[in-house]
């Protein structure tokens, strides 16, 4: 049985609405549009309901 890791490609802050997308070229997160609140301690929507493994 093989398991494949499927990492997130997009995340949204539940506090300020900032949206980021994974950029393969720089191997890091990039801001999609507006930066949100600059002093926000981002609470990303990737939580216990996200299942990164595929069977």
pLDDT above 70 for 5? no
pLDDT digits (tens, 9 = 90+) for 6-22: 778 889 999 999 999 99
Identify the weakest region by mean pLDDT among 15-19, 43-47, 50-54: 50-54
pLDDT of residue 39: 93
| pLDDT of amino acid 7 | 76
How many CA atoms, within 13 angstroms, populate the side-chain half-sphere of residue 50?
12
Tell me, what's the pLDDT at 36? 84
Average pLDDT over residues 17-37: 90
């Amino acid at each position: 049985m093989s398991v494949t890791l499927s990492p997130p490609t997009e995340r949204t802050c539940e506090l300020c609405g900032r949206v980021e997308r994974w950029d393969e070229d720089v191997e890091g997160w990039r801001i999609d549009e507006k930066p949100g609140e600059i002093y926000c301690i981002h609470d990303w929507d990737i939580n216990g309901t996200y299942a990164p493994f595929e069977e």
